[in-house]
Every structure is written in C-alpha cells, then in structure tokens.
Amino acid sequence: MNKRDILRRIPKVDEVLQKEPLFVFFEDKGQSVVTEAAREAIDALRAEIMKAGDDELDSFDVSRLSADAVALEAVRVLEENDANNLIAAINATGTILHTNLGRAPLCKEAVENVARVSKGYSNLEYDVKAGKRGSRHDIVSEILAELTGAEDAMMVNNNASATMLVLSTMGAGKECVVSRGELVEIGGAFRIPDIMEQSGATLKEVGTTNKTKISDYEKAYDEERTGAFMKVHKSNYDVVGFTEEATLEELVELGREKNVPVIYDMGNGLMVDMSAYGLSEPNVPASLATGIDVILFSGDKLLGGPQAGIIAGKAEWIKKMKKHPLARAIRVDKMTFAAMEETLKKYRDEKVALRDIPVLSMISASPEEMKAKAERLLKVIEEKTEGYSLEVAAVEDQIGGGSAPMVRLPGYAVSVTSDSCTTKAIERLLRKSSIPVIARINDDRLLLCVRTIMEDEFDAVAEALTAK
C-alpha cells in the first residue's frame, strides 16, 4: 500500500468516538476531553505514517488503522494525561527532611483531619459558641502558647514569610542588628540580607564571619535607629575553629537594658530536647524561656508538620503582626491548620510525639531497630524478586532539609546489586516505578536506607525492583 492509501484509511474522529472503550470516559472526563484524546491519537498516527519510509510502509500493520485500535490508543492518551504531576514517592535516601521530596511526612491523625475538615465546610473563621465571625489565628494560638510557653503565637505560610512579617512589623524604617556569621542563605533566593531589604528594615551587620561578641551588638546600638537585635540559627552550615557568637541569653539581657526587642529565627522548629539522639540543636521552649521577644520557625522541618511558618512570643508583637496587611497575603489555608493542630497535639506528651510524628520517630529509631527493619525489607524483596544480590549494610543517615548538617545517624540499608544490570540501571528502574523509589548509590551499590522507608511501603519497593 502506498502512503496515500494508508492515510486515507485513518478513521475519522466521529468513528472513533462511537467505540465502546471510550464510553466510560464521556461520563467521567467529559465530551471535549475524550474528543481531544481521539484527535491526539489520530494526529500521532498520521504523523507516524507521514514520516515513514518505504520499508516501514510495506510492513505497516494496517489493523492499527481500525477505529477500534485508535479508540484504544485514545484511552492510553486519556490515562496518560490524567496522571498527576504531584505524586507520592518513596524516600529510600535515609535523609529525613528531604526538601526535594516534600520535607516532613505528616502523622496519620494530621492527614485524617485534613480530609475531615476540608471535604466540607468548617469553622475556619467562625466562632461557633458566640455565633459570630471568628479568626483563623485563634486555631493554633492557644496550643502553641501551652506547648512553648509563649504569650501568643500565629501561623503563616512558611518561615520565609514569617521572617518577612516579623521584620516588617518590628524593623521597618529601623536598623536590625545581625551578626556577620549569621547572614544565611537557606536555599533558592532566601537570603537574610535580601529579605531584610524587602521588609523595609536596614541591615546592620556586626562582628566578623567567625566571631561576634555581645559587645559588637552593644556598639552597634543607637537609641534612635536600632529597631531589633536578631539572631539567626546556623541551620545548614557550621562554623568551626576559632569562633565565638553571642548567646540568646546575652542578647536578651542587652535588649532589656536598651529596651530593644530580640528576634530569633531558629528555623528548624524542634520542640523537644533530642540531644539523647545525637541532635544537639536549640529547641523552641528552651529558646523562649530565655525571654526573647519573638521566635520564628518552620512547620515542616523538625516540628514534623505541614509547610508553615510559626511566630511565637510576646503578645504585644504578635497582636501587631496579626493586624499587619502582609499577614493577609501570607495567610494559611484550612488544610494546613487541620494538619498542624493534630501535629501539635502530639507534643502534649513527649513520648507520644516521638512515637507518632514520623520525623521524630525516624530520628529516635535505634540502630538495632533499623537493622531489624532492613532485615525485614530484605526478606520482602527476596520473596518478590529474582536476580539481585541483597545484603544488609550499615549506613549513615542525615537529618536534611537544611537542619543539623553535621549530624550523622547510624542506620541500616538493604544494598542491592545485580550481575545482569548496572547499579545506575537499578536506580533508574526504581525511579520509573509508578510509585517512584528514590535511592542512593554508594560504592557502586544501590542503597535502600530503611530509616525513611515506611513499613507499609516495603511491598511497593520490592515491586519497583521487579519491573526489570
């Protein structure tokens, strides 16, 4: 058959749309979507034929030109277009707060509450008892105050926007004094000096990269110009060697003496003392106990909740921030409140928090538990796959998410190698699975680090390996 004859036999859109496999999609996706898919399938077929050389035309399978065949192709197009861009993935990297993989996984109750609160209406801004308008700020203010010892607290979109709001409220038109060693970049375009400029506050740098003393802040103080003393936690880097920094206590004392508020951008939002697990980071209640005016931190780092920025501290400042025009621009949706409230409730008992909040239970898991978990995963993979060499291997896991960069948590992984394919190929295979498994390669072995793999994901990990 020559090209023209083949092209002539391509079915018309209307013929394709008569075919049974497409019927369910009319109801589900709508007429125009199905028609478009049929057109796409036809266009692709035509393009393929137009491009084909004589040999390809001779061997062309004419059954592909039937309306039935094209309808099936349209079904494939519909299914492909229906796949979400944001999908669940399995984190086998052992890095707990993996920013590329969505930072903190939520606890079960948080997820359930999001569904409960958002599938219908809610009292987001309605005071049910009083029968009148309420404020969304009240949802987590009380529990945050209870847990952290702050007078008042509020929640915004993330810690970057919290910084913006705090500086706009407390520092606009004034100087904000920050140590040169703490002018951090958190990733992307979030740099303290840039945020400061956006907020209308003037950055007053003091000290040097490695050393800043409390006397440096004192020297920078000016009765007219100084709006705040600010400390920024060195979340994602460490300065070692000949170093010195002013403590929160010293800053609070100086602030009190000069009547200047002290702001602490602590970043990670750790709520409990985790030093027993190798994590000697400052925590929120202890930081507030020093008497600082305002602390701000992320919701989805070590707090283990949804993306959010929390501002807590003295009521006079929080009240001003709630009324600031910017607060509206960075306000949080009901889904975030629903997840955050359930996450925060866990902290009423530290043991419950460590058990139920995924980030904390991952950090506090013992090496023995990790080893037993790796052995269980190895068994599941062994049962479901063939052709791999599997081994339990000791690894070092990380906190990630720009938190505690020097901390290494002793963990375990299942190491996977194969005689029939390269480690890179296994890594690719896992990534291409319908639930992508993101793994690590070390010493030409693929490592499935079990600290960040949930127990109920074991089957999916094994299945991803069978697609070979």
Ligand X SMILES: *Cc1c(COP(=O)(O)O)cnc(C)c1O
Distances 319 to 31, 123, 157 between C-alpha atoms, Å: 52, 21, 17
267 binds ligand X (CB under 6 A): yes
Which one of 53-61, 136-144, 230-238, 412-420 is the stretch in contact with ligand X (CB under 6 A)? 230-238
Binding test (CB under 6 A) with ligand X, winner from 212, 298, 336, 343: 298
Cα Dmax for the chain: 94
**Is residue 235 at the binding interface for ligand X, with CB under 6 A as the rule?**
yes
Q: Residues 232, 312, 344, 362: which binds ligand X (CB under 6 A)?
A: 232
Does residue 160 touch ligand X according to CB under 6 A?
Answer: yes
Piece of the chain touching ligand X by CB under 6 A; list 121-129, 136-144, 264-272, 314-322: 264-272
Distance CA 295, CA 282 (A): 12
Choice from 94, 282, 305, 309 touching ligand X (CB under 6 A) = 309
Binding segment (CB under 6 A) for ligand X, from list 227-235, 338-346, 448-456, 459-467? 227-235
DSSP string covering 122-162, please?
Answer: --TTEETTTTEE--TTHHHHHHHHHHH--SEEEEES-HHHH
Q: Which stretch binds ligand X (CB under 6 A): 153-161, 206-214, 357-365, 389-397?
A: 153-161
- Shortest Cβ 234–ligand X spacing (Å): 8
**Shortest Cβ 139–ligand X spacing (Å):** 19
Tokens representing 79? 């299914």
Closer of 176 and 439 to ligand X (Cβ): 176
Cβ proximity to ligand X: between 160 and 360 the closer is 160
414 phi and psi, to 5 degrees? -95, 120
For position 186 contacting ligand X by CB under 6 A, the verdict is yes
> What's the rounded Cα separation, in Å, for the pair 248 and 214?
10
Residue 74, classified by CB atoms within 10 Å of its CB into exposed (0-12), middle (13-18) or buried (19+), is: buried
CB 222 within 8 A of CB 175: yes
Summary count for the chain: helices (H), strands (E):
21, 17
Residues 40-59 that bind ligand X (CB under 6 A): none
Closest approach of Cβ 300 to ligand X, in Å? Answer: 7
Q: How far apart are the first and last CA of the chain?
A: 38
Which H/E stretch holds residue 249? helix 248-258
Quick check: 255 binds ligand X (CB under 6 A)? no
Q: Which residues bind ligand X (CB under 6 A)?
A: 158-160, 163, 186, 190, 232-233, 235, 265, 267-268, 298, 309, 402
